[in-house]
Structure 1
């Protein structure tokens, strides 16, 4: 029997709950599949299909994504950090453990308790058509501390992928494809360091490769983010031997695609259901709570006090850019809270010196930091914003030069000591070295699975916290 002369891979990555484009993505997949009616087609997603800033994702805890992936005809997916780190292991079991129309592949993720991958996740799978075998494996970005707190062990991806590729080759794979949520730099490392990979379909760093990038014999492809593109890769084989003869690839913009009617109806139905679920009342405010991106405010102070209380830290700092709107008097719903604080950022404690704290506080008084556009590391706001604090009193003069505006910082009524180390509550994004760089700190302890908005929800129901948050922490120097 002659083997197929061609196999087509269609791929997406980092859609991040962009439900508005999912019907067009599905339409592009259907059109491209139809254009290869006589050729086997494999459809894959490389992770971060989910993002908990979406009301549909939040209301259904990810279930709509499984439905869309199935309705769109996906064959294999890997997990991104937005799946692996923003949902509990138990919830992922509920989403994928009942059986899905697609395979979940990840070579470098194991349960801590058993040391093995759960039943619903495979280190690799073999696709076969008329004697032609395509091995598919996957890998996700390595965040060991976070994964450990959620009950996972994440292995170093290079060695894990090497072992998966070796196993697939031993099983007779004529070509091996890696679904990578590692980022372009690590994809290049995979191509250079791991033998036997033919195609890497990439994600995580949202890079766009309009044409494949070749490293030796390995072809690197990626389709950007937010469903703007669907990637197409054609693998050509010798029909007698199954030997891979060549790889070609391209991207297709989805903006003008006809939306798939079934996926469109599905998304619309899940949006209606989400709108109803997200109307659940979580608090009622007697007075409104304002946010100010440039200065401290009642709502920012409330969040800072909440993460200090949640973590047991000595003091707390959080950027006001986490909060996208003020709260009016009256009921607060789940939808209101999500719109207010959409970022899947976890509270944490880190160790900082008084001097490092002072540097961040000085920077928070400068427009170039307050207005800094920022996205990534979980942050879903628009700009960085100033710092809101709890456990500190800051005295400053707006007329002074940059980095000399603060005249005094008091902690428990005493001056902040430059060389003393403090245990400080903040958002986990700062420990990755983003925004206020001096807040990266040391010896970080993370508090999962709650996000900042879950902390805020508790504070909105604490009358004493609502009273205290209206007290200013920043004061003009006399």
Structure 2
């Protein structure tokens, strides 16, 4: 018997339904598995979450089941969930997602509130044996508390759970591996503060760590985003020393590998099925709805009005950068809405003062805010864009520096002391672009419907559509300003 045991871990993260890279990833996993197992070495294949993203028509139509089939066909063995699985799928859809999975889901910090146990489709950890080497595989996902709670889940902070798991398992295993959809910064904290973690296979931050990073005795890895890379960790276990002799990390560029033709054909067939499902007409539009990121548009005003109606608020607000494609007059399908608004973003409502609302609107009309590039928190567009509103009439000047001159709320002058209920988007509660919104009270998330699902309902309201063509913003000149 050899004195060492070699384990190869191939890991992916944050594919976000980039199906074009998946056939090459499948080839990468299969040829390396064949190569290494042919030498008597061991292979483990894992995914670290956000494999699914509902911006793609296949994931949207199947509620992620297409992704699970691809993971099956790629011979993934273990996975944890990301926020795209956890909080963009309604609870019943997440409970059904892994019915046909041929791999094990590990979620150590997601719980059913009624039973305080992990979901039936997952395990809190796994013990995996290769040869004589015993591995503890743990899994944690980022704890977006309010969103998970609104979806009917309980999500807990990972560190106390990890410490408890490691304390219980460390003496019974040789190596402890964490599948972490917590983000790079949190992974660094874990490596520094949690004893007993040998390897953290990371995700969520979309970082590419070419050779991983070592903090103390822990190796941290992450393989970028969208399937551009497959991560590889090679671990050599020394039987005589009963410890890790060597561990190293690298990234394989997915473009180097041939396409798995059978998987590619499956993905194409899923696209045809999804298009047949989602291109069914849901409404007739009498007028075109055009996008415009730097100006007020009827389409943007209609989004704000839809959010206002959905949340029961006095005011609706959303950024014009959310709208990525025009809606043409005539037959409208859900696929058209998905193409125009692919973001996993939901409505929410918050109560703020008139003074706070004024500050938000003043920030929103500054050129640097309108042109600000946005990333993360579900946003799939490019820039913030013009602030679309409903329930407001705003007079503003653009002379030297844009400023608000007058605000009316549903026909009445704004009262700076009064509380107003504002319907807006959950992204603003996470990305902190408008700090005044975070000072509000009675924050309510309206889940699980995403903006496109809200619009699929409201777009049938012809009166709302007609009203969206009435301007909410009125630009006035210096002369008019002085006269007023």
- How many Å apart are 1:428 and its aligned residue? 0.3
Q: Partner of 1:148: helix, strand, or coil?
A: helix
Q: Deviations 1:356-389 (Å, cap 9, x if unpaired)?
A: 3223323333332222221210111121111011
Partner in structure 1 of residue 132 of structure 2: 131
Alignment pair present for 1:63 and 2:61: no
User: What are the within-5 Å matches in structure 2 for residues 355-394 of structure 1?
Assistant: 355-394=355-394
Alignment pair present for 1:351 and 2:351: yes
- How many Å apart are 1:437 and its aligned residue? 4.3
Partner in structure 1 of residue 74 of structure 2: 72
Which has the higher mean CA deviation after the structures are superposed, 286-295 or 106-115?
286-295
- How many Å apart are 1:250 and its aligned residue? 0.6
- How many Å apart are 1:412 and its aligned residue? 2.8
Partner in structure 1 of residue 119 of structure 2: 118
Which has the higher mean CA deviation after the structures are superposed, 161-170 or 446-455?
161-170
Q: Partner of 1:122: helix, strand, or coil?
A: coil
Q: Does the CA contact (< 8 Å) of 1:351 and 1:424 recur in 2?
A: yes
- How many Å apart are 1:134 and its aligned residue? 0.9
Alpha-carbon distance in 2 for matches of 1:47, 1:383: 26
Q: Partner of 1:307: helix, strand, or coil?
A: helix
Alpha-carbon distance in 2 for matches of 1:137, 1:436: 37
- How many Å apart are 1:106 and its aligned residue? 1.0
- How many Å apart are 1:242 and its aligned residue? 4.3
Q: Deviations 1:248-279 (Å, cap 9, x if unpaired)?
A: 11111112321222221221111121121121
Change (3 A) 1:148 1:199: same
Gaps of 5+ in 2: none
Q: Partner of 2:170: helix, strand, or coil?
A: helix
Partner in structure 2 of residue 332 of structure 1: 332
Change (3 A) 1:353 1:317: same
User: What are the within-5 Å matches in structure 2 for residues 136-151 of structure 1?
Assistant: 136-151=137-152
Alpha-carbon distance in 2 for matches of 1:390, 1:351: 16
Partner in structure 1 of residue 463 of structure 2: 464
- Across the two proteins, how many residue pairs are aligned to each other? 474
Alignment pair present for 1:218 and 2:207: no
- How many Å apart are 1:403 and its aligned residue? 4.3
Which residue, 54, 57, 70 being the options, matches 2:56? Answer: 54
Alpha-carbon distance in 2 for matches of 1:76, 1:140: 14
Partner in structure 1 of residue 89 of structure 2: 87
CA RMSD of aligned residues (A): 1.7
Change (3 A) 1:100 1:2: farther
Partner in structure 2 of residue 402 of structure 1: 401
Q: Does the CA contact (< 8 Å) of 2:377 and 2:431 recur in 1?
A: no
Give me the TM-score of the superposition, normalised by structure 1.
0.95
Alpha-carbon distance in 1 for matches of 2:83, 2:197: 23
Partner in structure 2 of residue 304 of structure 1: 304
Partner in structure 1 of residue 14 of structure 2: 14
Partner in structure 2 of residue 173 of structure 1: 173
Q: Partner of 1:142: helix, strand, or coil?
A: coil
Q: Does the CA contact (< 8 Å) of 1:138 and 1:161 recur in 2?
A: no
Alignment pair present for 1:163 and 2:161: no
Alpha-carbon distance in 2 for matches of 1:10, 1:105: 17
Partner in structure 2 of residue 186 of structure 1: 186
Give me the TM-score of the superposition, normalised by structure 2.
0.94
Alignment pair present for 1:200 and 2:206: no
Q: Does the CA contact (< 8 Å) of 1:59 and 1:278 recur in 2?
A: yes
- How many Å apart are 1:2 and its aligned residue? 6.2
Q: Deviations 1:75-134 (Å, cap 9, x if unpaired)?
A: 1000100000011222122121x3521110011111112111122211100111222211
Alpha-carbon distance in 1 for matches of 2:355, 2:35: 62
Alignment pair present for 1:100 and 2:123: no
Q: Does the CA contact (< 8 Å) of 2:334 and 2:456 recur in 1?
A: no
Alpha-carbon distance in 2 for matches of 1:325, 1:299: 10
Partner in structure 2 of residue 342 of structure 1: 342
Alpha-carbon distance in 2 for matches of 1:372, 1:124: 41
Gaps of 5+ in 1: none
Alignment pair present for 1:23 and 2:23: yes
Alpha-carbon distance in 2 for matches of 1:32, 1:419: 66
